[in-house]
Amino acid sequence: MSVSWIVLLGCVLFFAWRGYQAGVGSVLQRIVSLACGYGAAFVFTVPFAEVVEANTRLQGAASFIASSVLVFFGVALLVNIVIALSMRLVLGKGREPIRSAGALSGTFIGVFIGLLLVWLVGTVKDALLLQDGTEVADTKEDLLQQTASNMVGGMVKVALDTQVEENSPLPDMAAKLIKNPVKVGDDLSRIVGSEDFRNLFTDEHTRDLMSAGKIKKLESTESFEQLLQQPGARDFLVTMSREYQQDGVSEEAAVAMFLSNIWQTADALQNDARFQKMTEDPEVKKILEDPDPMALLTNPKLKELGEIVADLDMEAYREQHNDAAPGSHRNSASSKPVEKKTIYRWRDEQGQLHYSEHKPADKYQAEKIQ
């Protein structure tokens, strides 16, 4: 018998016995409490996180995580107390528990908790295999682990579907990540670190195509075609570009639009004065060069960086680069040409990064980025 089956059967027997002892009323009480906590976490986490950020040192992702945990357990505990008091007032003390129904309810809870633990065990097992140099499979060979992964991924997708805009790739991407986090993480590392990916974003020709939103021409480049031929790359990029896959747009065109959008945002960010000033901040440079997870989660300056990205005027950027935004299907020939400025990038003696329209002194190795 595998470890997964031992974990599942252990959970089922434990919770069935606890349900038999406590009775169906107590089991249902806990189920309702957890369900209310789960729902409250998705409804109230964002506004509560704003309160946490305003009154504590927690910022960004750290405040969001802390808020979701506090809301979940706080509401679950409150509902549990209210139900317990209500049942005591209505039914009185010393009532005999309905043991058989309690055992059945406990069994269902045991199956649910057991599958969560099976998913966790499978994830840890995959991480250990990858650490030993063994390739992780795309799908789980164990039917029980596959069932657990599908259940957890489905829960995440359903929860996110209610929180994001229609056609957002986030629910599908999050579900794919949760189902097989080690495999997806390994695939992503390989894609980003591949020569084809680097060529796409470092070649001047493909960068010009992405800047101008010339999707058809980008699709026909060798680096784009080779990138999609990488194992796992196509599925990952197709999932990420889900929001562009409408009105008859092909998967390849949607991926090209998605990659163009990434490059346009990165290029616009490089020329943003606020971003340049922030990257020169010693504290931010230290965190980015030697990342501390807690510092990344709590530093308000990195949250400000996200706000800078959100405030970028991408319409102005696209007008400057003489083409429509990806997906607008506007003919670039109908646009009036816009004179492009040359931007130089270089580092000084202190290692600080600079951007300027004027070429620096010859002692600096300046790179033309536009």
Confidence category of residue 12, pLDDT binned at 50, 70, 90: very high
First and final C-alpha spacing in the chain: 61
Classify residue 272: in a domain, yes or no: no
Q: Are 67 and 49 in contact (CB under 8 A)?
A: yes
Q: What's the one-letter identity of residue 165? A: E
Classify residue 202: in a domain, yes or no: no
Buried b (16+ CB within 10 A) or exposed e, 277-289: ebbeeeebeebee
Classify residue 278: in a domain, yes or no: no
Per-residue model confidence as pLDDT tens digits over 300-324: 666 666 667 767 777 777 777 754 4
Residue where a domain stops, chosen among 120, 136, 157? 157
Q: What's the one-letter identity of residue 250? A: S
Mean pLDDT to the nearest integer, 177-181:
80
Per-residue model confidence as pLDDT tens digits over 32-44: 888 898 888 878 8
How far is the C-alpha of 200 from the C-alpha of 193, rounded, in Å? Answer: 12
The pLDDT of residue 334: 34
Does position 7 have pLDDT exceeding 50, yes or no?
Answer: yes
How far is the C-alpha of 186 from the C-alpha of 134, rounded, in Å? Answer: 11
Residue where a domain stops, chosen among 157, 176, 203? 157
308/249: higher pLDDT: 249
CB atoms within 10 A of CB 70: 16
In angstroms, what CA-CA distances link 176 with 179, 218, 239, 259, 351? 5, 27, 9, 20, 40
Residue 368 domain boundaries: 340-370
Per-residue model confidence as pLDDT tens digits over 88-142: 776 565 555 677 777 888 888 889 889 989 988 888 888 887 777 777 666 666 7
CB-based contacts of 88, cutoff 8 Å, min separation 6: none
Number of domains into which the chain is organized: 2
CB atoms within 10 A of CB 76: 20
Does position 59 have pLDDT exceeding 70, yes or no?
Answer: no
Q: What is the C-alpha R_g of the chain?
A: 26
The pLDDT of residue 337: 40
Residue where a domain stops, chosen among 92, 123, 157? 157
Sheet holding 344-347, edge to edge: 353-356, 344-347, 367-368
Mean pLDDT to the nearest integer, 1-28:
84
Classify residue 60: in a domain, yes or no: yes
Q: Provide, rounded to the nearest whole percent, the portion of the chain with pLDDT above 90.
A: 5
How far is the C-alpha of 55 from the C-alpha of 50, rounded, in Å? Answer: 9
Classify residue 137: in a domain, yes or no: yes
Per-residue model confidence as pLDDT tens digits over 61-94: 567 667 878 888 899 899 988 887 887 776 565 5
pTM: 0.56
Classify residue 362: in a domain, yes or no: yes
Classify residue 313: in a domain, yes or no: no
Mean pLDDT to the nearest integer, 318-347:
51
Does position 253 have pLDDT exceeding 80, yes or no?
Answer: yes
Output the average pLDDT for the chain.
76
The pLDDT of residue 295: 54
Confidence category of residue 156, pLDDT binned at 50, 70, 90: confident
Q: Specify which residues 344 forms β-bridges with.
A: 356, 368
Confidence category of residue 339, pLDDT binned at 50, 70, 90: very low
Classify residue 57: in a domain, yes or no: yes
Judging by DSSP bridges, how do beta strands 344-347 and 353-356 pair with one another? Answer: antiparallel
Per-residue model confidence as pLDDT tens digits over 180-201: 888 777 777 778 778 888 888 8
Does position 287 have pLDDT exceeding 90, yes or no?
Answer: no
How far is the C-alpha of 292 from the C-alpha of 335, rounded, in Å? Answer: 46
Q: Are 194 and 230 in contact (CB under 8 A)?
A: yes
Buried b (16+ CB within 10 A) or exposed e, 179-215: bbbbbbebbeeebeeeebbebbeeeeebbebbbbbbb
The pLDDT of residue 141: 65
